[in-house]
Amino acid sequence: MHLAIPGVATNTYTVLGVASARIYHAQLNTKTPEWCYSRMKGTLVFGKDRDPDTIENAPMAPSVQAGNHWFRLLDAVSGKPVWIFKVRSGSGFVYEIDRPFFHAFQGKSRRFGFLFENDDEASALAKEVISQISPPRKPLRILCPWL
């Protein structure tokens, strides 16, 4: 399936990262989240909707907004999306690496967690998510009065 290959672009989106994962969720605003398995597992895809100016001869679908990033969990058997999370631009989205195999972030109504089958896939996906979504950090400036 071409959707699950990083770097693949279609008329409306680009796949940026892929990993096998399970989705967990927990309540918001708790000191120690109690994670519940959602019973959803498959191929987790991180992607971005393409800019309408770069799409040749293809009208934008109404649900596609240029520049929006998203996660989709594809069923392992059918390849169809069973879960979608859209990351809104300017939403202050923070992707946390809790463990090499477990990453989390906050949604509107709950926290979501990804439990990965492979640490290398998890690391590659996290690098792509952070480089695409996290705002650039200013370099630390250390003032040394004695220099």
Kindly report whether the global pTM for this prediction surpasses the value 0.95. Answer: no
pLDDT of residue 62: 42
Tell me, letter by letter, the H, E, C secondary structure of 56-102: CCCCCCCCCCCCCEEEEEEECCCCCEEEEEEECCCCCCCCEEEECCE
**Which residue would you say has higher pLDDT here, 135 or 22?**
22
Confirm whether 108 is domain-assigned.
no
Confirm whether 81 is domain-assigned.
yes
Q: Is 109 helix (H, G, I), strand (E, B) or coil?
A: coil
Q: Could you give the number of structural domains in the chain? A: 1
Q: How many CB atoms lie within 10 A of CB 47?
A: 24
Confirm whether 128 is domain-assigned.
yes
Confirm whether 93 is domain-assigned.
yes
Confirm whether 125 is domain-assigned.
yes
Residue 147 has pLDDT above 50, yes or no: no
Q: Which residues form the domain of 13?
A: 2-20+38-100+119-133
Structure tokens at 45: 């895809």
Q: Residue 60's closest CA among 11, 15, 14?
A: 11
Confirm whether 112 is domain-assigned.
no
